[in-house]
Structure 1
C-alpha cells in the first residue's frame, strides 16, 4: 500500500477491467452469451435444492440456502454490478470478507477500538500505519470496518502499482475495493462518499526490518492530506498493533529482489528456509484502533496548496498514530495473547 501522492502516478487511469465492464453491461440489460442456458441451470438447481436443503439442514439454513442459490444464479447469468473502479460489493460481502473473517476472529483475534469515529455517511480518509512484510494489515482493516462499523461501511484501500501488476491478485484486489494509489482515484472515491484507506509509509513501512518495528517511516510528501483538504473529508488516524511480528524480517535479499522486480525480498526465521510453510504468518494478537477524526472542511479551497499546512497536518496525523501505537504496546499483555 502506498500514499496517494507517492505510491502511484497522479493522473494514471485505473487498469481496465473487461470482466467488470461485461458485468455492468449485463446489469444494464445486455446479457452475456449463454445467459439463457445459465439461467436454466440456476433455475433447475434452485428448484431441486430449495425444498431439500431445509429438511437436511434444518429451518435455520433455509434462508442461507436461498441466498446462496440467488448468489449463484446472479454469478452464472452475469446479473450483478461493479462500479467504475471494478469493485464488486456482493462478491466482497458474500465471498471475500467471509474468507478472511476466520483469520480476523480466530487466528489474529483482532480487537477493534474506535471504529465509530469513521462517519456513518460521506467521504472519509482513514490513514493507517503499514507493517508485516505482507499486507495482512490492510485486509484486516477492511474486515474491521465492514464487520464492526455501525453503518456496515466498506473500506476502499489505495494500493501500490505492484498489486495491479500481479496476475489474479489484480482482479481480486479490484473486486475487493482496492484501487490505484493516485490522487485522482482517491479524490473520485471521496467525492462519491466512500471511506478511503491509505498507508502512507508504503513499502518503507511494510518492508522495514524487525529491529525498527512500530517506528513509523516517512509519510511521503503529504499527498493524502491534500486530497482530504480538496474533498473536505475528515482524516481518521488508524493504529494497528500485532502485524509487525507476523513475519519478523531479519534480512533483505536485495539481489533476489532486483531479479524478481520486487521492492524487497524478506528473510525471516522461517522463510525461505521452510519454503511455503515459512509463508504462514505467526498467530499474533492484534489491536486496530481508529482515532478521533481530524476535520478538514473548515479550511478554504486554496488550503490544499499551502505546503506548510500540509506539513503540519501530515505531522499531526503521523504523531497521533505513533503515540497510539506506543499506548497500545504498553497495554498489551504479550505478542501472542
Structure 2
C-alpha cells in the first residue's frame, strides 16, 4: 500500500557535511610553504608571527590540550572580547606547560591571542627564545608589558615565576610570593582589568620530589627536578602524566578608576597585588575541589 502525501514528507538537508579532499589539504600546505619561503607573512614589533603560531606551533600542542590533559575551560566570558586585559595565573608543574595550555585555551576557546611574559632565561636559549618570540611571548619587563596592554592586547603573566613552577609536590596548589607587583602597576598605567585565573592539573604532570641543585647551578638553571620517573627512566621520564586539567577565568578586577600616576604608589600596588593573589588562591582551591580526582 502506497504512503499518503503527508507520510511522504521530504525532510530537507539544511547543511551537508563538508569533507576536505587530500588535494585541498596539500594545496593549502603548499601555499603556506610558498608564502613562508617568499617572506609573504607579517610579524609585529615583538616578533609575533600569528600565522605560524596558529597553523604550526599551536597545532603541535593541541593534541596535549584536547586529548592528553582534556582541558576544560570555565567563565570565558570574563575575558574581554576586543580590549586589553592582564590575565594573572598560578604557575606550577616543574616545566611551564601550563603557560602553553593557557595560550591554547585563550586562542581556541576565546578567539584571542595571548601574549605571555617570560623570564630572562627563556630568551637566553637560542631556539626556545626564537620560538617564544614567534608565538607572541616577550620578556617580562615593564616596557613590553605596558606597550602590549596599551595596544589592547591580552597579556598573560605568572607572578610566582620559577618559585611557583619549581615548587615541590608537597606544596602543590599553594601560591608562592607574587613579587613586587610590577604587573599591577602596568595594568594601572594602561587602565585595563586584571583577570585572576586558576589552573588545576599542572601540579600532577611532573611531581617534583627532589632537586639536583649542584648540577642545576653548573648548568645555569634555577633547579633540576627529580620526579618519580626522572632521571630514572631517561627520556621516558619527560613524558607528562595525563592529569585532568581545568582553567577558570575569574571576575575581572578593574583598574580604570585609578589615575595612571597611582602606579607609583607602593601601598596601593601592594594592596592590589595581595587582592589578586588572594583571588587566584580562592579560585584555585574551589576549582581543585570541583575537579576531584587528578586523573579521571
Output the TM-score relative to the length of structure 2.
0.92
- State the 1:118 CA deviation: 1.0
CA distance in 1, matches of 2:255, 2:28: 41
1:106 aligned to 2:67? Answer: yes
Q: In structure 2, what is the equivalent of residue 192 of structure 1?
A: 151
Matched with 1:299 is 258
Residue in structure 2 matching 1:213, options 172, 196, 199? 172
Q: How does 1:222-237 map to 2 (within 5 A)?
A: 222-237=181-196
Residue pairs, 1:1-337, within 5 angstroms? 60-61=21-22, 63-149=24-110, 152-337=111-296
Structure 2 gap ranges (5+) = 1-18
Question: 1:130-178 deviations in whole A, cap 9, x for unaligned?
Answer: 00000000000000000000xx100000000111111211111110111
The structure having more radius of gyration, on CA atoms, is 2
Report the secondary structure of 1:157's partner residue: strand
**Partner residue of 1:12?**
none
Deviation (angstroms), 1:329: 1.4
Q: CA deviation at 1:70?
A: 2.0
Q: What TM-score, normalized to structure 1?
A: 0.81
Q: Distance in 2 between matches of 1:292 and 1:68?
A: 41
- Give the CA deviation at 1:217: 0.2
Range with bigger deviation, 67-76 or 193-202: 67-76
- Post-superposition shift, 1:60? 4.7
SS at match of 1:168: helix
Q: Between Structure 1 and Structure 2, how many residues are aligned?
A: 279
Alignment deviations for residues 195-226 of structure 1 (CA, whole Å, 9 cap, x no partner) = 00000000000010110000000000010000
Unaligned 5+ runs, structure 1? 1-57
Distance across 2 between alignment mates of 1:81 and 1:329: 40
1:59 Cα offset (Å):
5.1
Tell me the distance in 2 between the aligned counterparts of 1:64 and 1:238: 37
What is the rounded CA distance, in whole Å, between the counterparts of 1:170 and 1:302 in structure 2? 33
Work out the CA distance in 1 between the residues paired with 2:118 and 2:287.
26
| Superposition CA RMSD, Å | 1.4
Find the residue that maps to 1:172 and give its secondary structure.
helix
Distance in 2 between residues matched to 1:267 and 1:248, nearest whole Å: 8
Provide the C-alpha distance between the structure 1 equivalents of 2:77 and 2:34, rounded to a whole number of angstroms.
35
Q: Quick one: distance in 1 between partners of 2:158 and 2:105?
A: 16
Q: Distance in 2 between matches of 1:326 and 1:157?
A: 24
Q: CA deviation at 1:73?
A: 1.2
